[in-house]
Amino acid sequence: MHLQPSPEGDPERLRDLAWMQGIQNGDQEAFRELILEYQSRVAGVIARMAGSSSDAEELTHEVFVRVWRSAHRYQPSAKLSTWLLTIARNLVLNEIRYRQRHPTISRDIVREDGQYPEDATPDTASVPPDAALLESELQQAIDDALQQLPENQRTALVLQRFEALSYEEIATLLDVSVPAVKSLLFRARTTLRELLKDYLNE
């Protein structure tokens, strides 16, 4: 597929389309620039969707491997960021399902399709109960609470809260209607408030 950027497109859209056209033609510099632009964003979404036990770096790498291999499948009607986050979401779902089926397999096993078993729980050092520790505990509580949400609710909330995506963009990524996105976000926030009520009361 040969991408033809529309003259009416905004500068970011035109830049992304130019990158994807270059990647389709084997342009490694265009690929490098795309990675530099989107790597941290994709990694942040993966970390919040999959939880602290995920290997965000490995999954992020796999996202861009798939971009290179599947550039010809990219449809310019979709924003590049939405396409990237769709790939990331699918990889996270694969990882979560794999961890659920194989919770005790060593993480040394790395599957070619980007699925990874659960990591070991990291050691925590004993530190004084200062403000930084309390903030860290709250962030961990939020991360843990996020992982208790159903997958669609968690994804919708991460994309809306941390990525500032619009209802329409989230609906496209999740393949649901805008009212469904609003319902997912309402239920997610209600559940989080209940799970975090001890912290909120403080």
Find the range with the poorest average confidence among 4-8, 11-15, 48-52. 4-8
Q: Using 50, 70 and 90 to split pLDDT, how confident is the model at 54?
A: low
Do the Cβ atoms of 159 and 173 come closer than 8 Å?
yes
What percentage of the chain has pLDDT greater than the value 90? Answer: 31
Domain that holds residue 38: 1-120
pLDDT for res 64: 95
Among 93, 120, 147, which residue terminates a domain? 120
- Tell me, yes or no, whether 114 and 137 share the same domain: no
Q: Using 50, 70 and 90 to split pLDDT, how confident is the model at 122?
A: very low
Q: Using 50, 70 and 90 to split pLDDT, how confident is the model at 124?
A: very low
- Tell me, yes or no, whether 145 and 109 share the same domain: no
**Residue 56, domain CATH:** 1.10.1740.10
Task: Give the pLDDT confidence of 41-52 residue by residue, as tens digits.
Answer: 999 888 888 775
Among 100, 120, 140, which residue terminates a domain? 120
Rounded mean pLDDT, 129-158: 74
Do the Cβ atoms of 146 and 193 come closer than 8 Å?
no
Tell me the C-alpha distance between 18 and 7, whole Å: 12
Among 79, 104, 120, which residue terminates a domain? 120
- Tell me, yes or no, whether 69 and 168 share the same domain: no
- Tell me, yes or no, whether 80 and 140 share the same domain: no
CA atoms in the 13 A half-sphere facing the CB of 166: 4
- Tell me, yes or no, whether 113 and 186 share the same domain: no
Tokens of 27: 């342009």
Mean of pLDDT over the chain: 77
Rounded mean pLDDT, 94-113: 54
CA atoms in the 13 A half-sphere facing the CB of 26: 0
Tokens of 10: 């905004």
- Tell me, yes or no, whether 97 and 185 share the same domain: no
Tokens of 140: 């961990």
- Tell me, yes or no, whether 95 and 21 share the same domain: yes
Rounded mean pLDDT, 113-128: 39
**Residue 131, domain CATH:** 1.10.10.10
Of 95 and 34, the one with more pLDDT: 34
pTM greater than 0.75? no
- Tell me, yes or no, whether 51 and 100 share the same domain: yes
Tell me the C-alpha distance between 32 and 93, whole Å: 26
- Tell me, yes or no, whether 81 and 156 share the same domain: no
pLDDT(130) > 70: no
Phi/psi at 31 (5° precision): -65, -45
pLDDT for res 106: 36
State the DSSP code for 3.
Answer: -
Specify the number of domains making up the chain. Answer: 2
- Tell me, yes or no, whether 115 and 131 share the same domain: no
pLDDT for res 135: 57
- Tell me, yes or no, whether 72 and 150 share the same domain: no
pLDDT for res 121: 37
- Tell me, yes or no, whether 113 and 150 share the same domain: no
Tokens 């994804």 belong to residue = 155
